[in-house]
Amino acid sequence: MKIEIFDSTLRDGAQSEGISFSVSDKLNIVKTLDDFGVAYIEAGNPGSNPKDIEFFEQAANLKLKTAKLCAFGSTHRKHTAVEDDPNILSLLNAGTDSVAIFGKSWDLHVHKILNVTLEENLALVSETVAFFKAHGKEVIFDAEHYFDGRKANAAYAMAVLKAAADAGADVLCLCDTNGGASPITVRDGTKEVVRAFPDVRIGIHCHNDIDCAVASSMLAVEAGAVHVQGTFTGIGERCGNADLSIVIPNLQLKHGYECVANDLSMLSEAVIKLTEISNLVLPNNKPYTGASAFAHKGGMHIDGVSKLSKSFEHIDPSAVGNTRRFLMSEVSGRTTVLAKLKALAPELNKNSPETADIVSRLKELEHEGYQFESADASFELMVLSQLGRFKPHFKLCMYRTSGEFPFPSGDESASAMLSIEVNGKIETAAAMGKGPVNALDTALRKALNVFYPELAKVSLTDYKVRVLTAEQASAAKVRVLIESTDGAVTWTTVGVSTDIIAASWQALVDSIEYILNKKEEEAS
């Protein structure tokens, strides 16, 4: 069975706290969703603000492959004829083949929010739907607060749907606008509507205020809904909307529904793109697409996955464009290390003395406070050092950092000076920076660029510090994680010390050594 996927990132998602899409952002979101293969993209209200007006003007020139753009708005205003309502006309002039119209289905809202009679609200729904059908539009009617309305006055909530259906609505979408309906309530309510309107497509729109939006959407499909609304990364008003990046693989991979035009191997890529456009951080534990979704840490788990992947994985990671990861930690055994060593030293096995040495060294370092599960680059350097296959590219002679207040120049609060030795040659450099770590990083790159100009493309993209022994107050041991990139790949390194500068230096050195070593391997 085919399920229509209706994405509301541009409208409901834009209502999420901290989200502000530019016109360019919106166009890129449309292209990403269309490439992935959703059926509908709700593009917002064309009459609500100048940004949306500009978006609709530019979106009219897009050549979409699979998706239909859908303008969004409400039923016409009371005491205003539908053909004279500016918001209705803006929807008509948006030029989309489909429109999503929301109307009140909870009698509380009819009386207290719209301030009209129940009969007048039915007329607003009927007249608005009929107007757009007369102009050749596909109409998706969103029954706002449907499940609250059903609980308060089931006969009236059903009457609202009938008014829309009789006027020609193509889809009746049941909205859990407050996000408080339980999945069982959604399932039972959807089943009633499917039986009452056998010739109309029934949809579901769930918010996530009780963390059940995905479950409710799936049970609605089980009850007969064929149209599912949500946002691709779950963003939205308050606690967000049903997360389509979870709903889609749940329905398609677990239950055999056809949700999108393409396979799901592009899912992770699409989620990452949309998360970056939204200026958000993708949670590691996000199902299917998070970095930890197929990450294994326990030795028993890794041993099982290495022998038979489905023993500890519910699907093949490649089915959703993700990858399997084995994490290094104090609970790692030889099987874990061997899984990580496949690319570095494939000749080693579980009984190799080198494997035992690496496991022992790993546990020593973890006891000191190092953590390698998020620092693969430092782990790789440690392994190469244990195997005697790593030669440092430079040696530190000295470094000195200092900070000042007030800042002597703009927001550059610190300075650093260092000397390094490369093949018997000494290079000294100094730099100002936004703090001592930034100054030290800048000075190091300045000195190394003399010998390794390819480092000009390398930059630090993230810096994290965690206090490991808080009871020692300002003398606590800290762990520093540094993420770096050369524009093509990204890697993370770690350093540990009671001196935050020393810990940062360790991570900085590993970052540089890692990429220089990679460049040598590629050249050989």
Q: CA 31 to CA 392: how far, in whole Å? A: 45
Nearest to 104 by CA among 159, 64, 52, 67: 159
Q: Following DSSP, what letter does each residue of 269-322 receive, concatenated?
A: HHHHHHHHHTT----TT-TTTSTTTTEE-SHHHHHHHHH-GGGT-SS-GGGGT-
The answer to whether residues 400 and 385 belong to one domain is no
Please say which residue of 243, 262, 281 terminates a domain. Answer: 262
Q: Is residue 269 part of a domain?
A: no
Sign of the torsion formed by the C-alpha atoms of 110, 116, 117 and 121:
negative
Please say which residue of 262, 284, 303 terminates a domain. Answer: 262
Nearest to 224 by CA among 261, 257, 271, 264: 257
In the predicted model, is pLDDT for residue 487 greater than 70? Answer: yes
Q: What is the CATH number of the domain that holds 411?
A: 3.30.160
Q: CA 141 to CA 160: how far, in whole Å? A: 10
Per residue in 176-210, pLDDT (tens digit) is: 999 999 999 999 999 999 999 999 999 999 999 99
The answer to whether residues 441 and 497 belong to one domain is no
Average pLDDT, the chain: 91
Q: What is the CATH number of the domain that holds 138?
A: 3.20.20.70
- Contact yes or no for 23/10 (Cβ under 8 A): no
In the predicted model, is pLDDT for residue 42 greater than 60? Answer: yes
Residue of 31 and 302 predicted with greater confidence:
31
Q: What is the pLDDT of residue 303?
A: 72
Segment 456-469 shows an average pLDDT of: 86
Q: CA 427 to CA 429: how far, in whole Å? A: 7
Q: Is residue 340 part of a domain?
A: no
The answer to whether residues 424 and 522 belong to one domain is no
The answer to whether residues 411 and 508 belong to one domain is no
Q: Is residue 193 part of a domain?
A: yes
| Type of residue numbered 106 | W
Q: What is the pLDDT of residue 407?
A: 66
Sign of the torsion formed by the C-alpha atoms of 5, 10, 12 and 16:
positive
Q: What is the pLDDT of residue 473?
A: 55
Q: Is residue 306 part of a domain?
A: no
Q: Is residue 350 part of a domain?
A: no
**Residues, the chain, total?**
524
The answer to whether residues 49 and 91 belong to one domain is yes
Q: What is the CATH number of the domain that holds 487?
A: 3.30.160.340
Please say which residue of 409, 429, 451 terminates a domain. Answer: 451
The answer to whether residues 408 and 523 belong to one domain is no
Q: CA 334 to CA 356: how far, in whole Å? A: 7
Per residue in 404-429, pLDDT (tens digit) is: 777 666 678 889 999 999 999 999 99
Q: Is residue 66 part of a domain?
A: yes
Instruction: Please count the structural domains in the chain.
Output: 3
Range of the domain at 228: 4-262
The answer to whether residues 523 and 400 belong to one domain is no
The answer to whether residues 403 and 500 belong to one domain is no
The answer to whether residues 406 and 486 belong to one domain is no
Segment 79-89 shows an average pLDDT of: 95
Q: Is residue 284 part of a domain?
A: no
Q: What is the pLDDT of residue 374?
A: 75
Nearest to 505 by CA among 402, 400, 404: 400
3-state SS assignment for residue 339: helix
The answer to whether residues 216 and 201 belong to one domain is yes
What DSSP character marks residue 250? I
Segment 29-54 shows an average pLDDT of: 90
Q: Is residue 301 part of a domain?
A: no
Segment 144-152 shows an average pLDDT of: 98
Q: What is the pLDDT of residue 362?
A: 83
3-state SS assignment for residue 62: coil
For the chain, the farthest-separated pair of C-alpha atoms sits apart, in whole angstroms, at 90
pTM equals 0.75
The answer to whether residues 47 and 179 belong to one domain is yes
Per residue in 378-387, pLDDT (tens digit) is: 999 999 999 9
The answer to whether residues 406 and 257 belong to one domain is no
Q: What is the pLDDT of residue 333?
A: 59
